[in-house]
Every structure is written in C-alpha cells, then in structure tokens.
Amino acid sequence: MNTMKERIIGQVKRVNGPVIIAMGVTDAMMLELIYVGEVRLVGEVIKLEGNNAVIQVYEDTTGIAPGDNIYGTGMALSVELGPGLIGTIYDGIQRPLEEIYAISDHFIERGIRLPSLNREKKWHFVPAPIKPGTRLSGGQIAGTVQETVSMLHKILIPPDVEGELISLAPEGDYTVEEPVGLLKTKDGEVPLLMMQRWPIRKPRPVEKRLLPSLPLVTGQRVLDTLFPVAKGGTVAIPGGFGTGKTMTQHAIAKWCNADIIVYIGCGERGNEITDVLNEFPKLIDPRTGASLMTRTILIANTSNMPVSAREASIYTGVTLAEYYRDQGYHVAVMADSTSRWAEALRELSGRMEEMPAEGGFPAYLPTRIAEFYERAGYMDVLSNNKGSVTLIGAVSPPGGDFSEPVTQHTKRFVRCFWSLDRQLANARHYPAISWLESYSGYLEDISLWWEQEIGANWSDDRAEMMELLQKEVRLNQVVKLVGPDALPDSQRFIIEVCTLFKNAFLQQNVFDKLDQYAIPIKQLKMLNIILLYWRRGSQIIRRGVTLVKLRRMKVLQDIVKIKMTISNEDLREIDKLAVRLERSLEQLESIHA
C-alpha cells in the first residue's frame, strides 16, 4: 500500500473558486493528490504548464491567499478499499460523513481528514488454504472476512503486487492496518493488509470482458419484460423534474438481484439525499431479511457541497463497485444524476477559461461520459471468478428537453434507455417509463436465459405485445380525428387490449406489498393471460362476436387485479384465471354460433 509523504511542490498564485493556479511547481505529477494551505484543503493537479499548475480543490477555498504553500503527496487521488465499506455513508472524496458529523458542528469543517476505513475495528480474518512458497499475483484471494450478515468480503492481493507467499496469518481478529500475510516480491518483502488503495480515475484490471448474458432482474414489470438490462450493462434514465427518476432508482436498488448496491447522490438537492439516508437503513432486503444497508454503500454529494467534489464522486463510486466486482460479485451503481456531474464539469471548465462547446459544456464532455460508462461490464476477474458492474445513470435534462447535450451524448454510450414520460407521470402512471421512446439493446443477449429459465416463448410474446402497442398509437391518432365509432371492432379491440396491458401490467404500485415486486415467472404469466385474451378474442370477433360482449366478461376485472391479489408464491391462481378466461370466451363463441 502506498504511503503519503507530503512535500512542498509550489505556492498559490491565483484563486478562482475551486480552481487554483500554482506557481513555482517543479516536482508534481498529473492527477496528483495535493493539499493546499496550512488548513490542508484536498485537491488534485489537473493541468501542468511550465512551472505553473492548475489545481482542482474539493473544498471551500475561502481564506486561501497567494503565497500559501501547496503540499504534494506523490500519489493520485485514491480510495481506500477493504472491509467496512458496506453500510457506510461517504462524501464525494470518500470521507465518512457519519464520523465527521460526530466530531463537527453539523457542517464539514475545512481541511478535516478522517480515514475512510475504521482503523480501530477488528475483523475476523479466515486465511485461504494457500501454502508458503506459492506464487501469488494481483487479484487472488488471500482470505475472507464476514463484512455484514449477508456479505462475505474477500481479501484480495492488490492488482499491482506479485510475489511468493512467505507467510499467512492464522485465523483471528485484525484491524485493516495489521498485516495478515507477507509476500516476497522483486522489490523486497511486502506486508499484505486487509486494505488497499486505488486511484479513482484508473479502471481496475480484469482478465477479460465477457458478453453479458444474465439479466439484472429489477422486479419492475415494464423494465424486466419490455426493456431489460443485463448484468454489466449500461442504462440511462432521462426525465424532467417530478417524473420519477429517483423513485425508479430506489425501487431498483431495493429489489434488483445485484449483490451490492452503490448509490451516488451526485449534486441532487439536500432534501432528496436526506430521504435516501433516512429511508435506506429502514428498508428490508427481501433476500436476507436484514437492512438494505447490509449490501449498500452510499455516496452523498449534495448540490450545496463543493462542485469539484461532485465531479469526483462518480469515479469514487464506480471504483468501489469495481473492487467488489473483483471479488466475484454483481454490483449495481445508481448515479443520480449524471447531469449534475456534467454541470460540475462545465463550471470547472469555465473557471479554467477553456473554450466551451454545445450548451456551454466542455468539448471533452462526450469523452468523460464514455469513460464513465466504459467501466461497466460483465468480467472474468483476476480472482478466477465472474463479476459485473451495472451502471444506471439518471439524466435530468433542463425542462425535460432530451435534445440537450448530456442526454444526447449519453444515448451514444448506453445500450438501454428508460425514457420517463411527463404525461404518464401527470396521469399518476408509475413507473412513468415510455414504451414508445425507451429501448434495450440487451434483448438478444439475455433472451436465452429467459427462455431456458422462465418460458420458451418469452421473446415472441414480448415482441407481439410491443407490436400491439405500436399499432395502438396509430389507431389512437385516427380516433382523435374521427372518433372511436369509426373503427371496426377488430381495431377497437387492439386499443382495448393495450389499455388492459397498461393498467394490469405496466402500472405498478411501489407501496403495495404484492405489487411492488414481481418475479419473472409472474411477469410472464401476466403477459400470457393478456395475450390469451388478445388471441382468442381476435378469433371470436372475426366470427361475429361484438366487442361490447367481450368487455362484459367478469373475468376481465380479476385480470386487472392480478398484480394486487395474487402473490409471487401463489401463481397457480393465474393459471386458474386463464382457464376461466378460456371458458368465458368459449361460452361467448358458442352462444353466437
């Protein structure tokens, strides 16, 4: 593990908000972690030019004056990785907010420095069955620690370390700074700790990237059935204010089948972040029965915190996610929102007097967005396991304008797009995911899983329902011009079936105990019964049965109520309902005949 040795590398020349120009700089690196002034404000070197350097400071620079010393550390801005991350609330540069609150007066004091990982707590270390003399390389597992009731933390050899094992500590309790092993490397003997550091802007190495093949099951029907995402995928959730971005991410965080959740509150309003901090510890993980915080890391960086720390928070979060991915876990990262992150880039770029591009954003905005989403993926990791990082980024376009630069550039680099619709939100249809503007590029990748594990006709059934929704749009345009009576029953029936699908399937109540989460097999059975109504209903309409008679079937009301009356454990009731529907349709057909 790198140790920081501070040295004076220059003096302050000019201060422009969070951007400082340093002079007399002769011994500094790009992206080096530095401290400014005697209060030791945290910063990072982002530009070197001659003997001057441009420094991005992650704290309030009030009181910093020309001539103040700048101290270098010789290392990049990094995060601490090890047991104790899960359940902790950090700011954008991985300072533990709960510990800061305990020693400060409600506000984060400038220059405050606390270790990201608790140095006093002892963890019960269980060594891996490795004999001394074994050649070990980066990413291999040296032992395990039970971090939470549901999470076994695997102690990894740092990726940049390789050598022969001299000794491994016996099973027992150790702090993160106590050696649990000793390696002989080409540079000498290196102690193996339970913690390590890694630069936030540098992706952690993997063995190879794999094709995504497993779905990230969210329990939200509109997402899993119509616009699924694979583990290791990339998603954008764009929507104007009040359309439900944060609520959608909350639902995914609670119900998705990821092992770890990293929630990044990037530049959102303080009251929204407060709701997250208050709500998440009270939520129960449905898989373990314990608090959701036993598999969650929160990064809180509100809009009134220093803007440059907002820019770093995205990288901090994805680095923590990569660390657990390297242990063989599936991690879902919620970034709320990448628009606020882009705004931080714009402000810092303006202070550095760079030439603005479209919307005032810097010309390198697309590159930064691409670099962020590129860190997602389903990987063969160095520990001979498979892990993934799924990136789900909310986008907050001003005024709901999806043509603005952040949304447009994000669409270029994500394969799944969950577009939130203002009209649906105003109609209290949640999740307000538009089935016309949303899309998923993972359908072919995960269709094999759905068809093998859930139902052989999943792809065909989904495609048939999507086709009906497209036809309904065209028919509704005709209805607006000439009225519904101008359409024949066969076309009015399409509108009828799509309305049933929207109300019974797409609309989902996160406050209803039965409706808030639907397992994949329940989703497929609900889709099948609606398609049964469509297929058989179309046949008997062609034989002369009127749409009015179809609408009068009592079984339709029970179909609408499936989501709130039939639990995930009682799916035979849906099969019974399908039998009732079939009988009702047969009776109509026989009466007409």
3-state secondary structure of 304: coil
**Predicted local confidence at residue 491, as pLDDT:** 94
**221 vs 517: CA distance, rounded Å:** 8
**Predicted local confidence at residue 239, as pLDDT:** 92
Residue with tokens 């601490």: 80
**524 vs 528: CA distance, rounded Å:** 6
**Domain 7-78, CATH number (from 2.60.40.290, 2.40.420.20, 2.40.30.160, 2.40.30.20):** 2.40.30.20
CB neighbourhood size of 463 (10 A): 11
**52 vs 75: CA distance, rounded Å:** 19
Going from N- to C-terminal start, the domains of the chain cover: 7-78, 118-194, 210-442, 458-592
pTM of the model: 0.94
Angle, in degrees to the nearest 10, between helices 458-482 and 489-501:
120
**Predicted local confidence at residue 582, as pLDDT:** 95
**Predicted local confidence at residue 128, as pLDDT:** 95
CATH topology of domain 118-194: OB fold (Dihydrolipoamide Acetyltransferase, E2P) (2.40.50)
**Predicted local confidence at residue 2, as pLDDT:** 46
Q: Following DSSP, what letter does each residue of 454-475 receive, concatenated?
A: T-TTHHHHHHHHHHHHHHHHHH
- 255: burial class by Cβ within 10 Å (0-12, 13-18, 19+)? buried
End-to-end CA distance of the chain: 82
Provide the token pair at 15.
């201060």
What CA–CA distances, in Å, run from 408 to 239, 376, 395, 403?
Answer: 13, 19, 10, 6
What CA–CA distances, in Å, run from 380 to 95, 157, 208, 271, 383?
Answer: 31, 16, 5, 39, 8
Residue ranges in 95-210 assigned as alpha helix (H)? 97-103
**Predicted local confidence at residue 3, as pLDDT:** 52
3-state secondary structure of 103: helix
Q: Following DSSP, what letter does each residue of 35-104 receive, concatenated?
A: EETTTTEEEEEEEEETTEEEEEESS--TT--TT-EEEEEEEESEEEESTT-TT-EE-TT--BHHHHHHHS
Residue 416 backbone dihedrals phi, psi, to 5 degrees: -135, 135
**46 vs 23: CA distance, rounded Å:** 14
What CA–CA distances, in Å, run from 26 to 10, 22, 489?
Answer: 8, 11, 81
**23 vs 8: CA distance, rounded Å:** 12
How many residues are present in the chain? Answer: 593
Residue ranges in 502-543 assigned as alpha helix (H)? 520-542
Provide the token pair at 421.
């619709």
**Predicted local confidence at residue 484, as pLDDT:** 84
**Predicted local confidence at residue 89, as pLDDT:** 92
**Predicted local confidence at residue 292, as pLDDT:** 84
Q: Which residues of the chain register pLDDT less than 70?
A: 1-4, 592-593
**573 vs 197: CA distance, rounded Å:** 53
**201 vs 314: CA distance, rounded Å:** 10
CATH 3.40.50.300 fits 210-442, yes or no: yes
Q: Is the peptide bond before 158 cis (omega within 30 degrees of 0)?
A: no
Provide the token pair at 3.
């140790």
3-state secondary structure of 183: strand
**Predicted local confidence at residue 589, as pLDDT:** 84
Same fold, 7-78 and 458-592: no
CATH topology of domain 458-592: 1.10.1140
Paired sense of beta strands 377-380 and 208-210, if any = antiparallel
